[in-house]
Amino acid sequence: MKSYIIVIFLIVIITLIIFSKVKKRLYLLKKQKAKNYLHQNFGKTTSKNHINLEAVQRDWILISKNIPDKDKIDDITWFDLEMDQIYDEINNCQSFAGEQKLYSMLHTIGNHGTEYETLKDKIEFFNNEESERDEMWYIISCLGKETDSYYLPIYINNLEAFRIPNIDFFRFMRALLFLSFIPAIATINYVYLWFPVFAALANIVIYSIQKNRYEAYLNMLRSVLRIMEAAQQIVNSTELKYENKFKDLSEKIHVFQKLLLIIGKLQYRFKSSISGDAMTLAESATFGITLWDLIQYDKVIKQLIGHQKELRALYEIIGQIDAAISVASFRKSLPFYCVPQFDNKSVIEVKEVFHPFVKNPVYNSVTINKGCIITGANASGKSTFIKILAINAILGQSINTCIARGFKMPHCAVVTSMAVRDQVASGESYYIKEIKYLKRIISLLNSDTIVFSVIDEILRGTNTNERIAASVSILKYLYEKNSITVVATHDMKLTKMLNGYFDCFHFKEHISEKKMSFEYKIYPGPATSTNALRLLEYMEFPGKIIEEAEKISSGLCE
């Protein structure tokens, strides 16, 4: 009989060992599969249709209030340059923290200190350390992109608001539960057991009322736990070189060692309660009666409040790692790129710049000293060119990457006036909106920071004479200030009236009876031809319209 029991015991032990090994093997296979996917995905652009920009923006909305206007990209400039698409192109982040951090980084151009240099070093590190990159990207991918997680910056910033109210009353009710046993024990009279029964029922009611709010809060705590666990894995790994090089996680995660265990237990309890088996239901009832979950949650929040800066720093660093790998991936997806060169001159030198969204792009090189006016026919490439100049000025100062073979520039504010829009609801005309856009540029001017402004068709919302007069005055004013100004225009008069102030460049087009083509190549000097009337002819407008237009045009030019 004893030998029979021993055999059964051995079978159970062996089964558990085999199960454990199989489980571990499956985990390793799953991990390796995920790492292989990440490795293959590096350097590739992926569809981002699933991104919830409203959720991604939450961190930027929170921190932007404390950043000076000259050091950030405003909404108008972001819209003009279609930066949401640029963000999508760069974003290969595997976590909510990475997506939010990258979005905030692309909006911030005034940080030329330690954080910028650290990001620069991390991008290069992950570009060169392939196995390190794959392992850390896998660790960070475990943070996931759950909808609730994108609220984490707000949660960290407002921890006090996420405490459970009336917690002292809950502590009193738990103490009352234990004290209610004293009469029964002291008198050895079971009648008094009704006291703890009533106390337990009261606590169950309290727990049930608070449970929904508690579980919503616990969702946020789960995101906190994942940030901490990712940091802990990176720090504890004997294979990863990251912490030895950058030394930015150890000190931050050290203060949370005890909290990791408590939060882990709360999370385990939360997951278990979802399963709903008899054992779990009994356990939940026990913890509900003692109000343990609520009291432990508040204890965790109190400790997090004491280390709010460290928690925010962990979120920032983990997000920055993910964003840095994403930028390295973006670089690999390009035919070529460069890191910007910075100096203090009001000069931008560009070598073979191109727009990443243009198939088979034409590469352009140019040197802009204080500013320039770019002329050329419709659809010849003016707007695309000035956009990519501004985009590179942003990317160079935010993620140390330019979409060009060479890009030399000063540290500068970047502001645009391009896609001006009427606002019918507010009653503002096109011209009113346009002068407000231009006023933004003038308001940024100061002696400390160079302002790089990009303007497409300046003051097109008003009559010709006043447009020219106002445009010349505004551009001369900008030229005399601490600025670099790039203007794309059809007004040839501007090039003549601003001769000696701004250099001129132009784009060419070729139109024949059967074909219209553009070089998309920039040339020095102003344009010598226009194509508006020729385009009417190319598009087969009635001859009468074209003849009449040519007569009127000739009369206006005399």
365-383 mean pLDDT: 89
Q: Are residues 218 and 309 in the same domain?
A: yes
Residue 273 clears pLDDT 90, i.e. is over it: no
The total of structural domains in the chain comes to: 3
Q: Are residues 314 and 184 in the same domain?
A: yes
130-151 residue pLDDT tens? 999 999 999 999 999 998 899 9
In a domain, 312, yes or no: yes
Q: Are residues 311 and 354 in the same domain?
A: no
Report the percent of the chain where pLDDT is more than 90.
45
Q: Are residues 483 and 374 in the same domain?
A: yes
52-87 residue pLDDT tens? 889 999 999 999 999 999 999 999 999 999 999 999
| Domain termination site, one of 303, 318, 333 | 318
In a domain, 547, yes or no: no
In a domain, 119, yes or no: no
In a domain, 398, yes or no: yes
Report the predicted TM-score, pTM, of the whole model to 2 decimal places. 0.86
Q: Are residues 171 and 215 in the same domain?
A: yes
Looking at residue 168, what is its pLDDT? 83
CA distances from 66 to 38, 71, 79, 313, 411 (A): 35, 10, 21, 17, 20
Report the percent of the chain where pLDDT is more than 70.
86
Sequence-ordered alpha helix ranges (H) in 42-151: 53-56, 58-64, 75-80, 83-90, 96-107, 114-128, 130-141
Please enumerate in sequence order all residues whose Cβ is within 8 A of that of 127, keeping only pairs 6 or more positions apart, or say none: 133, 328, 331, 332
- How many angstroms separate the CA atoms of 518 and 378, rounded? 10
- Residue 490: give the domain boundaries: 341-527
Q: Are residues 512 and 388 in the same domain?
A: yes
In a domain, 448, yes or no: yes
| Domain termination site, one of 287, 318, 349 | 318
485-501 mean pLDDT: 88
DSSP secondary structure of 290-336: HTHHHHHHHHHHHHHHHTHHHHHHHHHHHHHHHHHHHHHHHHHHSS-
3-state secondary structure of 436: helix
Q: Are residues 469 and 509 in the same domain?
A: yes
Position 115 confidence tier, pLDDT thresholds 50, 70, 90:
confident
Looking at residue 208, what is its pLDDT? 78
Dihedral Cα 417, 421, 422, 426, nearest 10 deg:
-80
Q: Are residues 251 and 396 in the same domain?
A: no
Q: Are residues 447 and 381 in the same domain?
A: yes
3-state secondary structure of 144: coil
Looking at residue 80, what is its pLDDT? 93
Q: Are residues 294 and 345 in the same domain?
A: no
Q: Are residues 211 and 294 in the same domain?
A: yes
306-361 residue pLDDT tens? 899 999 999 999 999 999 999 999 999 999 999 999 998 999 999 999 998 888 88
In a domain, 402, yes or no: yes
- How many angstroms separate the CA atoms of 466 and 463, rounded? 6
Q: Are residues 227 and 302 in the same domain?
A: yes
In a domain, 73, yes or no: no
399-429 residue pLDDT tens? 999 999 999 999 999 999 987 765 544 556 7
CATH assignment at residue 485: 3.40.50.300
459-480 residue pLDDT tens? 876 677 888 888 899 999 999 9
Strand order in the sheet with 347-353: 341-342, 406-409, 347-353, 364-369
In a domain, 147, yes or no: no
